Structures are given as C-alpha cells and as structure tokens.
Amino acid sequence: MPREKSVNKDTVETVANTTFEVLPLLRKKLLRMDVVQAEHNMPMSQVQMLAMLGENGALSVSEISKRLGIAKPNITPLIDRLIDEGFVERRRDENDRRVVNVVLLPAGEEKLTSIRETIVRQVMRWTGTIPEKEFFELEHALQTISTVLESAQI
C-alpha cells in the first residue's frame, strides 16, 4: 500500500479554520434551514432522514443512527413521527429478520420534493446577489467538498 503524503501543517490549520468560519455562514447565509424547518413544520433531523432515504430508498435503523450521529434509542421517536405523518415505514429485512429497515413512502418522496423546492427558491435568490462567475465557482467548490467528504474515511 503506498504511503500517503503528509499534508503541510499550515494547510491543515487553514482547512480547520476555514471550516470553522464557513459552517455558521452556510447555515445563516446560504441555506436558511430554519426557514425550511418552519415552512415544512419538521425538525432538521427529520429533514436529514428523509434526504438520506431519498438517496438510498431504505436504510437500517443502525445506519440512520450512524449517519446522523444520533443514538439508536433517540432515532426511534424520529422514525415514529415520520411514520405518523405517512412519510416512511419500517420493514424487516428479507435476508435478516433481526434488521429493521426504514423505507421512504410516496408521501415522503413528495415531502422531500417540496423541501427541495424550498431550497431551490432560496438558491434562486442568490443569483441576484452573487455574480454569475462566482456562482459557478460556488457550485464547483460545493461539488468538490461533497466529493472529498464522500470519499474520505473520516
């Protein structure tokens, strides 16, 4: 296995500091998740769960817990609320009956579409305040961040 190159300490510090500075800006300036939560009457953890299920179709309770960083006992009430709304359902895994999967239902897909439309409306507002060149640079930067984070073994 090839040895990884070590990253310059200054670069590490710059990434750490920039991440620390950018996170609040993302939440307050770019995506106003408080607006999304209020408009859809749904806490962020449920929005995230719907998004994960939208990408994957179904996930085990353990996988949801791991991805959200929330203990399994605390996931249960979140799932129960989404079940009560008709957005998801629990299904036993056909290959391993001990595993319970959470499956996105058509109503959940519709809710997720509506949430994404709210986010698109927010992003549309940026187009009037961010020059086109910078808007495309932002798109590229966000795609790069997504790629790096998805492939990183953090």
The one-letter amino acid code at 77 reads P
Strands 88-92 and 100-104: antiparallel
DSSP characters for 39-65?
Answer: HHT--HHHHHHHHHHHHHSEEEHHHHH
Q: How far is residue 135's CA from residue 112's CA, in Å, rounded to a whole number?
A: 25
Q: What is the DSSP letter of 128?
A: T
pLDDT (0 to 100) of residue 105: 96
Q: Tokens at residue 123, please?
A: 């992003």
The structure's pTM equals 0.74
In contact, 10 and 18? CB cutoff 8 Å: no
pLDDT (0 to 100) of residue 1: 45
Summary count for the chain: helices (H), strands (E): 7, 3
37 contact partners, CB below 8 Å, separation of at least 6: 43, 44, 47
pLDDT (0 to 100) of residue 153: 63
Q: What are the per-10-residue average pLDDT scores of the chain (154 residues)?
A: 67 83 74 73 87 90 89 91 96 87 95 90 82 88 84 68
Which phi and psi (to 5°) does residue 131 adopt? -55, 145
